[in-house]
């Protein structure tokens, strides 16, 4: 998912919401609940890679499965959930579960996952070392400073035996949750978008996949260590309003997004920068 912290303005979001509503096949939550299998499934998605993947499904797989897709592309991270909640869209594809859980909690929405699709892996990068074992004592490591991604960055380091985290440290872990730090690493907390630009001034940095790409890095090639997709809570999901998981159109799309054809498309198109969730 693209940077979840940078939202467009309220006016832009409202305009996008109206656009989605105007084009929707189900103008209310009640009509969406009817789950008419003959109606197009309206899915709100971020441009890359979400809408790209949906367009592949639409052009190559949907007709054979008896599914009509209507993909609405938006660039903010409020409209997709509000559109699903109010029924002006049937599903969205742009977020991971930790973000969705936080959104539901703060906004009072009841949106759920209908299946994991892909991961945009977080990676550890460096211009000074080629392996985590080469990090020197007291090395300075950059990490994202937002609640969602800092915990994710620390977990990546813990999973690769760089540090250990205290028992119970979850997705919002901070450096205060580090139980052991054998190399006495110093953590520099920066905005996620700044990390690629700051890489030359640091010994290493944990960088989100989208910002790595924007910074000219190739996650599959340049990362010292990279998140794995299996069991990863940050896999991007197809999401629907609670109770709509059994909509036959949603089930068809979820099945297609988890298909070998889509897996191969993701692998061939994104070269490790986007990883199938299964």
Residues 146 and 276 sit within 8 Å (Cβ to Cβ) = no
Q: Mean of the pLDDT values across residues 240-253?
A: 97
How many domains, the chain? 2
Based on the domain organization, do 18 and 98 belong to the same domain?
A: yes
Based on the domain organization, do 219 and 252 belong to the same domain?
A: no
Q: Which pLDDT score, from 0 to 100, does residue 36 have? A: 76
Based on the domain organization, do 186 and 249 belong to the same domain?
A: no
Contacts with 102 (C-beta within 8 Å, 6 or more apart), sequence order: 148
Domain harbouring 78, CATH code: 3.40.190.10
Based on the domain organization, do 94 and 167 belong to the same domain?
A: no
* Phi–psi pair at 140, nearest 5 degrees: -100, 125
Model pTM score: 0.72
Q: Is the pLDDT of residue 56 over 70?
A: yes
Of 49-58, 61-70, 179-188, 228-237, minimum mean pLDDT range: 228-237
Tell the residue number behind the tokens 């190739």, with chain if given: 218
Confidence tier at 244 by pLDDT (50, 70, 90): very high
Closest Cα to residue 156, out of 102, 119, 202? 119
pLDDT in tens, 18-35: 455 444 444 444 444 456
Q: Mean of the pLDDT values across residues 109-135?
A: 95
Based on the domain organization, do 105 and 37 belong to the same domain?
A: yes
Instruction: Please check whether residue 4 lies inside any domain of the structure.
Output: no
Quick one: CA torsion of 19, 34, 102, 121, rounded to 10 degrees?
-80
């Amino acid at each position: 998912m693209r940077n979840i912290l940078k939202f467009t303005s309220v006016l832009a979001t409202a305009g996008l919401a109206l656009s989605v509503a105007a084009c929707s096949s189900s103008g209310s939550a009640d009509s969406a609940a009817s789950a008419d299998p003959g109606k197009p499934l309206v899915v709100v998605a971020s441009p890359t890679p979400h809408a790209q993947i949906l367009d592949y499904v639409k052009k190559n797989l949907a007709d054979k499965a008896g599914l009509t897709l209507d993909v609405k592309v938006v660039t903010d991270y409020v409209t997709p959930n509000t559109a699903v909640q109010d029924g002006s869209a049937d599903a969205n594809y742009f977020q991971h579960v930790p973000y969705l859980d936080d959104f539901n909690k703060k906004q009072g929405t009841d949106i759920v996952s209908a299946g994991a699709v892909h991961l945009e892996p977080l990676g550890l990068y460096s211009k000074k070392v080629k392996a985590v074992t080469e990090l020197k004592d007291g090395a300075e490591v950059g990490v994202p400073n937002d609640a969602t991604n800092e915990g994710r960055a620390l977990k990546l380091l813990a999973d690769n035996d760089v540090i250990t985290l205290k028992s119970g440290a979850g997705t919002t872990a901070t450096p205060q949750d580090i139980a052991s730090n054998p190399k006495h690493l110093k953590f520099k907390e920066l905005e996620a978008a700044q990390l690629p630009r700051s890489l030359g001034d640091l010994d290493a940095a944990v960088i989100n996949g989208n910002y790595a790409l924007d910074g000219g890095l190739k996650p599959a090639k340049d990362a010292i260590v990279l998140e794995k997709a299996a069991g990863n809570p940050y896999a991007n999901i197809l999401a629907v309003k609670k109770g709509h998981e059994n909509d036959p159109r949603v089930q068809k799309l979820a099945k297609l997004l988890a298909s070998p054809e889509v897996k191969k498309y993701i692998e061939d198109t994104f070269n490790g920068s986007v990883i199938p969730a299964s």
